[in-house]
Amino acid sequence: MPEMIDNLNKLIEWSNANSGFVSIVLFAFSIGFAWITGIFRSLIKKPKFKIRILPGPTMCSTFTTGKKHEGFDVHRTAISVYLSIANVGSAPASIEKVWVGYRWHIKPFSLLWLRYRCFKYGSSGKRVPSLLLKVAK
């Protein structure tokens, strides 16, 4: 037992003489403790949105404008979506832009898919494989 107290006194004297080392050990201990307790997880705040479509007049409508472009009718598409957006995260957030898109439910490799996906109209009005249109641009 006196041997242990002697070693402890030597350790105390050494740590007093080497305060830089002790400060590094305390720093490492506090970082480890913060990581284990999850303090860093609460400091990194992220907004999290809960988005749902409300029942109501959600619709998509396409109508012609009466104008022509390269021999084809010009049309406009209007989309109306009623949404509920709530921030359930831990950070404040704002919404600057909303982009709305739609998915065309057409079966791959069907006749309509081949017609509209693989062949498009070129500037001359003739059907051209879409790969050639990408290369020509």
**For the chain, what are the domain ranges?**
2-43, 45-95, 105-137
Dihedral of CA 33/36/42/45: which sign? positive
Residue 65 has pLDDT above 80, yes or no: yes
Can you tell me whether residue 125 is helix, strand or coil?
coil
pLDDT tens readout for residues 81-105: 888 889 888 788 888 888 777 666 7
Cβ–Cβ < 8 Å for 51, 85? yes
Q: Cα–chain-centroid distance for residue 77? A: 27
pLDDT tens readout for residues 44-57: 777 888 988 888 77
Max CA distance (Å), the chain: 102
Cβ–Cβ < 8 Å for 65, 95? no
Q: Which two tokens stand for residue 37?
A: 């307790």
| pLDDT given for residue 136 in this prediction | 41
DSSP 54: P
Mean pLDDT, range 108-118, rounded to an integer: 72
| pLDDT given for residue 62 in this prediction | 82
| pLDDT given for residue 57 in this prediction | 78
Phi, psi (rounded to 5 degrees) for 124: -85, -5
